[in-house]
Amino acid sequence: MSTLAETIKQKAFELGFQKIGFVRAESLTLEKQHLKKWLEEGFHGEMSWMAREPDKRTDPRLLFPEAKTVISVAMNYYTPHRHEESSRKGKISRYAWGDDYHEILREKLSQLLAFIKTLDEKAEGKICVDTSPIMEKAWAVRAGLGWIGKHSNLITKDYGSWVFLGEILVNIEIEDEVSIETDHCGSCTACIDACPTGAILEPYVVDSRLCISYATIELPDAEIPEKIQKNLNGWFYGCDICQEVCPWNRFQKETKERNFHPRNQETSIDLDFILSMTHEEYIKRFRKSPMKRAKLQGLKRNAEALKKLDLQKSD
């Protein structure tokens, strides 16, 4: 007879998740200390929300008081497409090629929670997909999904780091044997060596203020800092360099989720098209896309930075 955990796992796999684990809901004491130090150094830059309510961020019971178990899931989003290398176009981070993963994972987690409620009528839960103040990677590690690499992304043995994470906090206890994955980065420093802006200050420590992804997605400033702008390497929205060089991504597998494949067959986007885009065109083009996060102003700023860099190189 299948256990509750085994039955939920089977349903999760049917819904399209590749990995799932269960761990007791409790305070992340050690992770809270690391977060506190990282914030004190100012490594979060302008992402002020990361400094809000650190207790809630490190204790799921403050998000959902009834929480007894954290269900952590991972979904593979890798597709075998390649960037179009052209000075006229800017590269898009792989995670943003398809439809907004927040909506996709939230829908599938809603279905999983509904299924759990059919198994236990007393079950209630809260779904978290990136936007909730919860340390997703820390819970994924505790649930045995993988380990945090030196680039600070979660790495799995069987899918590399090309995975989206999500959680369900539930008010029931779900017992399951958890095997914590050890850190398999070893002496490798490929991600640290490859980062063109030196954003990975040391293993497992990233200064967002130096990160291309942060600058092109999260930074609200009118201009991208000069050090980052000079080292954009063609990146228009986000950056995958540290993941592309990771040896563990040789185990990458093509996703079965068709909505993660490139929208409009684009892995790179025409810079002049962005610069001439109206707000109405922006709304239509980026509806249900992760790229809407940077807003039209941010996208135009990124395009201008790449155009400026190209002009400087041609002088």
pLDDT at position 286 is 97
pLDDT tens-digit series, residues 53-63: 888 999 999 99
Residue 312 has pLDDT above 80, yes or no: no
pTM to 2 decimal places: 0.95
Mean pLDDT of 244-256: 97
Of 268 and 2, more confident = 268
% of the chain with per-residue pLDDT over 70 = 99
Cβ atoms of 211 and 219 closer than 8 Å: no
Query: What's the pLDDT score for residue 313?
Result: 72
* pLDDT computed for residue 11 by the predictor: 98
Q: What number is the average pLDDT over the span 96-108?
A: 98
| Residue pair 248/155 in contact by the 8 Å Cβ criterion | yes
For the question of residue 130 being annotated catalytic, the response is yes
Q: CA dihedral defined by 308, 310, 313, 315, rounded to 10 degrees?
A: -70
For residue 270, list its beta bridge partners: 89
- The mean pLDDT of 185-197, rounded to a whole number, is 98
Taking residues 142-158, report their average pLDDT. 98
- DSSP single-letter state for residue 134: -
Parallel, antiparallel or unpaired: strands 69-76 and 19-24: antiparallel
pLDDT confidence of residue 263: 96
Q: Is the pLDDT of residue 111 over 60?
A: yes
pLDDT tens for 14-55 read 999 999 999 999 999 999 999 999 999 999 999 999 998 888
Average pLDDT over every residue of 109-125: 97
The one catalytic residue in 55, 130, 193, 240 is 130
Q: Are strands 19-24 and 200-202 parallel, antiparallel or unpaired?
A: unpaired
Q: How confident is the model at residue 250 (pLDDT cuts 50, 70, 90)?
A: very high
Tokens representing residue 118 in the block: 């059919």
Q: Helix 101-119 to helix 4-15 angle, to the nearest 10 degrees? A: 150
Per-residue model confidence (pLDDT) at position 53:
84
| Of 84 and 239, more confident | 239
Using pLDDT thresholds of 50, 70 and 90, give the confidence band for residue 314. Answer: low
Provide the pLDDT for residue 131: 81
Rounded to an integer, the average pLDDT of 222-226 is 93
Q: Read off the pLDDT of residues 154-172 as tens digits, 9 standing for 90 and up.
A: 999 999 999 999 999 999 9
DSSP single-letter state for residue 157: T
